């Protein structure tokens, strides 16, 4: 057991919601270490939450409980779940929020959270983060066996998130995240680029702009230059040196990105 | 002793203020657990800070020190105080910031913080959070007896915050908080609604809109629907499914809300 | 050893970057206490980051590791460094970020971080915060000797940040930071004012406004009053009571400030 619980939500930091969850967790497991991954996921944006979680979760020690609550369906039919993988526990709504993180994990079992013994005495229909997921995460971090929280299930819901398709040697992806610096992050990863283009040069087209420059890091571009690079997450990014690429190129999340070969060796 | 100190301020997270307070606390009590409730209370908005604190504080373990610094009167005549209740310690300025949290607590004693032994050597007239409240909170979390910080007092200042009045079977409240999702939170709680309307249906009027729909959770409304519900805080809320009610209905904090009976059973 | 690592970055709290760094640190040193000073330094603003760090760092216990990553030159020629002072360890890029904090510290040694044994196995050219600075900070907090991380160097890069010059008894400084309340913080400190003006009254000119009022704290001014005061950081500030001075006076960061004597005793 790592004794660590990470939190990812769209609750923001202006309200009492995050504090209430931490109070519950610390009441049940006073010695636990709570780490905020982010509470600033755009409201109800499950895909964005899944992306952020997937790039932070794998750096935590074995045994960490990753609790994620971006939960537009709270109080409705979506199920509360616990997923145990070889390294971690994931706790939250069954709406695809863990989809991207699970691509790197080996799933051992999926449990539907039904045992009320591990919920708060009164469960509000609008705040399962506090009333179900926080206490379940705390009990998990104390070593309670996953099977005690409910029955196993076989399938979970997936994000409507597609691997970028390849046609005629072109990869068609999209901008799935814009970070604080305005860098445009695509869903095209380094491994895919290598498989498709091998040692050939490629160019990236986004919003009618064709970018041929591929740099190892921001420091290799000149001020105002538009360039591609492989970011810290291993994904193809489009950046404008010392500017917000999102603002400079007027590109928003969801914009298609096409990567194709150039007749040149890298 | 819980060994936990929670912090609620309007200091934001761009400046050095919160870090400085945490440095002081950890210097005096290295093993303490510090939990941020929020540092994004709107600047100098004591009422909003009181609301957020009151909905997070009760979930923490017995013995927790709740330190709150929304303090427009810093360096002036307002007194620095410590309130001991059956469960908690509250430390901060005597300006009503603890008012709403204290409605659920049984007060044991109120102490004026005057003993300079527990302040920093030099007290800045503009930053009592760092120079008085942080060290006092740290010493409290170490088990220092409340009576050592100063003399008892009997009364504390109250917020100008009224319980919603009832006339001719109508409750007249107001929007006291707008959360990150744009939900409009009123000062009318579930218990009051039950006492006034019992098992009768009621309708809510805000900004010339009459809302008859009362749903158990957001998931029960349709996209774009305006509906009322009892939120995670136990208060009547007005929400627009998958939208910001504040923006969609153009309602701001302070707007009056009127709840009246309908000739129907719930 | 304090077992404390503080973090200051411009990464924001919307992305996975901060979570990933914390995961690395906790994987290497599970019992360490991590404190966020700020992740909301304006993007790539090394001077602002240096300012915020310098006003939070000195309040932490001896042995604290202060890690700061505002790093526009990441992946380029700027060196990763570790500075050991009598009280602390500072870890980050050699770009002046530690400049202001070091003015209060006695430097013992400066080490270029070159020993790959203490980096992640794969070092991304865009994310040294995660791949170099986080593991080095974790190892330092575990007691690894600074000399093991690389070779000593004698000089580090400085900010282009000047002490305010004095001509004909006038101090010419500038607004170096605007805090969350809109207070305008200058680079003119209390000690300098005393040395130049002794017990004489002075006036402050900023953006064609002359301010003669000097108050001990915000509480001593009237609503809407423009006044000067010595803030919690020991620096001359310009404030408008219960308003944002930045908005009310339309002053931005970098605006010059001139302080001159009045023919009056304070």
d(CA A238, CA A139): 42
Query: Percentage of residues in chain A with pLDDT exceeding 90?
Result: 74
Q: Which chains touch A (3 or more CB pairs under 8 A)?
A: B, C
Domain boundary pick from C153, C178, C194: C153
Residues B97 and B18 reside in one and the same domain: yes
Calculate how close chain B gets to C5, using CA atoms only, in Å: 11
Residues B132 and B212 reside in one and the same domain: no
Three-state secondary structure of chain C: CCCEEEEEECCCCCCCHHHHHHHHHHHHCCCCEEEEEECCCCCCCHHHHHHHHHHHHHHCCCCCEEEEECCCCCCCCCCEEEEEECCCEEEEECCCCCHHHHCCCCEEEEEECCCHHHCCCCCCCCCHHHHHHHHHHHHHHCCCCHHHHCCEECCCCCCCCCCCCEECCEEEEEEEEECCCCCEEEEEEHHHHHHHHCCEEEEEEECCEEECCECCCHHHCCCCCEEEEECCCCEEEEEECCECHHHHCCCCCCCEEEEEEEEEEC
Q: Where residue B248 sits, what CATH number does that domain have?
A: 2.40.30.90
Which residue's entry shows tokens 């013995």? B63
Domain boundary pick from B86, B118, B153: B153
ipTM of model: 0.89
For chain A, how far is it from start to end, CA to CA, in angstroms? 46
Q: Which of A 66-105 lie inside 8 A of B, CB atoms? A: 72-78
Residues A119 and A189 reside in one and the same domain: no
Q: Identify the pLDDT of residue C74.
A: 87
Residues B230 and B202 reside in one and the same domain: yes
Nearest to A5 by CA among A49, A37, A35, A50: A35
- Identify the residue with better confidence: C263 or A58: A58
Calculate how close chain C gets to B79, using CA atoms only, in Å: 13
d(CA C180, CA B108): 36
Instruction: Spell out which residues of chain C touch residue A181, defining contact as CB-CB under 8 Å.
Output: 43-44
Q: Are B12 and C178 in contact (CB under 8 A)?
A: no
Cβ distance B13 to C40 less than 8 Å, yes or no, reads: yes
Q: Identify the pLDDT of residue C79.
A: 95
Q: Which of A 130-169 lie inside 8 A of C, CB atoms? A: none
Q: Identify the pLDDT of residue B158.
A: 86
∠ CA C96-C87-C234, rounded to 5°: 65
* pLDDT of chain C, 266 residues: tens digit per residue: 579 999 999 999 999 999 999 999 999 999 999 999 999 999 999 989 999 999 999 999 999 999 999 999 888 889 999 999 999 999 999 999 999 999 889 999 999 999 999 999 888 888 999 999 999 999 999 999 999 999 999 989 988 766 799 998 899 999 988 988 899 999 999 999 999 999 889 999 999 899 999 998 888 888 889 999 998 878 999 999 888 999 999 999 889 999 999 876 65
Residues B129 and B193 reside in one and the same domain: no
Q: Looking at the complex, does the CB of residue B232 fall below 8 Å from at least one CB of chain A?
A: yes
Residues A79 and A171 reside in one and the same domain: no
Domain boundary pick from C127, C153, C179: C153
Rounded to 5, what percent of chain A is helix, strand, coil?
25, 30, 40
Q: Are B20 and C59 in contact (CB under 8 A)?
A: yes
Residues B28 and B83 reside in one and the same domain: yes
Cβ distance C232 to B19 less than 8 Å, yes or no, reads: no
Give the containing element (helix H, strand E) for B249. helix B245-249
> A159 in a domain, yes or no?
no
> B60 in a domain, yes or no?
yes
Cβ distance B36 to A19 less than 8 Å, yes or no, reads: yes
Closest residue of chain A to C19, computed from CA coordinates: A37
Instruction: Spell out which residues of chain C touch residue B14, defining contact as CB-CB under 8 Å.
Output: 38, 40-41, 52, 179-180
> B238 in a domain, yes or no?
yes
d(CA A27, CA A36): 18
Q: Identify the pLDDT of residue C161.
A: 62
Cβ distance C27 to A232 less than 8 Å, yes or no, reads: no
Q: Looking at the complex, does the CB of residue A14 fall below 8 Å from at least one CB of chain B?
A: yes
DSSP B10: S
Residues A172 and A132 reside in one and the same domain: no
> A176 in a domain, yes or no?
yes
Nearest to A35 by CA among B48, C131, C140, C5: C5
Domain that holds residue A215: 166-265
Q: Looking at the complex, does the CB of residue A224 fall below 8 Å from at least one CB of chain C?
A: no
> A160 in a domain, yes or no?
no
Q: Are C230 and C183 in contact (CB under 8 A)?
A: no
Q: Identify the pLDDT of residue B219.
A: 83
Closest residue of chain A to B40, computed from CA coordinates: A14
- Three-state DSSP at A37 gives strand
Calculate how close chain A gets to B53, using CA atoms only, in Å: 7
Q: What is the pLDDT of residues A60-85, one digit of tens each?
A: 999 999 999 999 988 888 999 999 99
- What single string gives the DSSP state of each residue in A80-100? EEEEEESS-EEEEESSSTTHH
Q: Identify the pLDDT of residue C233.
A: 78
Q: What is the pLDDT of residues B174-207, one digit of tens each?
A: 998 898 889 999 999 999 999 999 988 999 999 9
Best B15, B94, B134, B135 member to test C by mutation, with max C CBs in 10 Å, is: B15
Nearest to A56 by CA among C11, C15, C71: C15
Residues B122 and B172 reside in one and the same domain: no
The list of chain B residues with pLDDT below 70 reads 1, 161-162, 264-266
Q: What is the pLDDT of residues A149-182, one digit of tens each?
A: 999 999 899 887 667 999 988 999 999 889 888 9
Q: Where residue C119 sits, what CATH number does that domain have?
A: 3.40.50.10790
Q: Are C151 and C115 in contact (CB under 8 A)?
A: no
Give the containing element (helix H, strand E) for B259. strand B256-265
Cβ distance A180 to C126 less than 8 Å, yes or no, reads: no
Who among B14, B73, B125 is closest to C216 (CB)? B125
Q: How is residue B124 written in tokens?
A: 């800045």
Residues C113 and C206 reside in one and the same domain: no
Best A54, A56, A214, A234 member to test C by mutation, with max C CBs in 10 Å, is: A56
> B159 in a domain, yes or no?
no
Assign A117 a pLDDT band (cuts: 50, 70, 90). Answer: very high
Calculate how close chain C gets to A35, using CA atoms only, in Å: 8
Q: Looking at the complex, does the CB of residue B231 fall below 8 Å from at least one CB of chain A?
A: yes
Closest residue of chain B to C61, computed from CA coordinates: B27
Q: Looking at the complex, does the CB of residue B214 fall below 8 Å from at least one CB of chain A?
A: no
Domain count, chain A: 2
Cβ distance A218 to C27 less than 8 Å, yes or no, reads: no
Q: Looking at the complex, does the CB of residue A3 fall below 8 Å from at least one CB of chain C?
A: yes
d(CA A244, CA A255): 16
Cβ distance A38 to C13 less than 8 Å, yes or no, reads: yes
Best C219, C229, C231, C240 member to test B by mutation, with max B CBs in 10 Å, is: C219
> A252 in a domain, yes or no?
yes
> B261 in a domain, yes or no?
yes
Sign of CA pseudo-dihedral C42, C46, C49, C55: negative
d(CA C130, CA C91): 12
Q: Which of C 15-34 lie inside 8 A of A, CB atoms? A: 15-24, 26-27, 30, 34
Dihedral through CA C71, CA C74, CA C77, CA C82, nearest 10?
A: 60
Who among B30, B74, B125 is closest to C61 (CB)? B30
Q: Looking at the complex, does the CB of residue A233 fall below 8 Å from at least one CB of chain C?
A: yes
d(CA A227, CA A144): 49
Best B43, B76, B126, B129 member to test C by mutation, with max C CBs in 10 Å, is: B126
Cβ distance A232 to C130 less than 8 Å, yes or no, reads: yes
d(CA A114, CA A128): 12
CB-neighbour burial class of residue A188 (10 A; exposed 0-12, middle 13-18, buried 19+): buried
Residues A105 and A128 reside in one and the same domain: yes
Residues C246 and C192 reside in one and the same domain: yes
Q: Identify the pLDDT of residue B264.
A: 67
């Amino acid at each position: 057991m790592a004794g660590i619980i990470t939190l990812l939500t769209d609750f923001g930091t202006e309200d009492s919601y995050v504090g209430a969850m931490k109070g519950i967790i610390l009441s049940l497991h006073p010695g636990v270490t709570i780490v905020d991954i982010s509470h600033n996921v755009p409201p109800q944006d499950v895909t964005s939450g899944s992306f952020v979680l997937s790039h932070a979760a794998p750096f935590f020690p074995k045994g960490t409980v990753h609790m994620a609550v971006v939960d537009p369906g709270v109080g409705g039919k979506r199920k509360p779940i616990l997923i145990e993988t070889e390294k971690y526990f994931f706790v939250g709504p069954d709406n695809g929020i863990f989809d991207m993180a699970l691509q790197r994990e080996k799933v051992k079992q999926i449990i539907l959270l039904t045992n009320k013994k591990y919920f708060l005495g009164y469960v509000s229909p609008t705040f399962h983060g506090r009333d179900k997921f926080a206490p379940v995460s705390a009990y998990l971090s104390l070593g309670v066996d996953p099977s005690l929280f409910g029955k196993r299930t076989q399938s979970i819901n997936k994000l409507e998130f597609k691997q970028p398709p390849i046609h005629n040697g072109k990869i068609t992806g999209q901008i799935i995240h814009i970070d604080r610096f305005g860098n445009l992050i695509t869903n095209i990863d380094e491994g895919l680029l290598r498989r498709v283009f091998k040692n050939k040069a490629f160019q990236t087209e986004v919003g009618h702009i064709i970018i041929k420059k591929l740099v190892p890091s921001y420091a290799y571009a000149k001020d105002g230059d538009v360039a591609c690079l492989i970011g810290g997450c291993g994904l193809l990014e489009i950046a404008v040196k010392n500017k917000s690429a999102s603002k400079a190129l007027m590109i928003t999340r969801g914009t298609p990105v096409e990567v194709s070969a150039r007749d040149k060796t890298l």
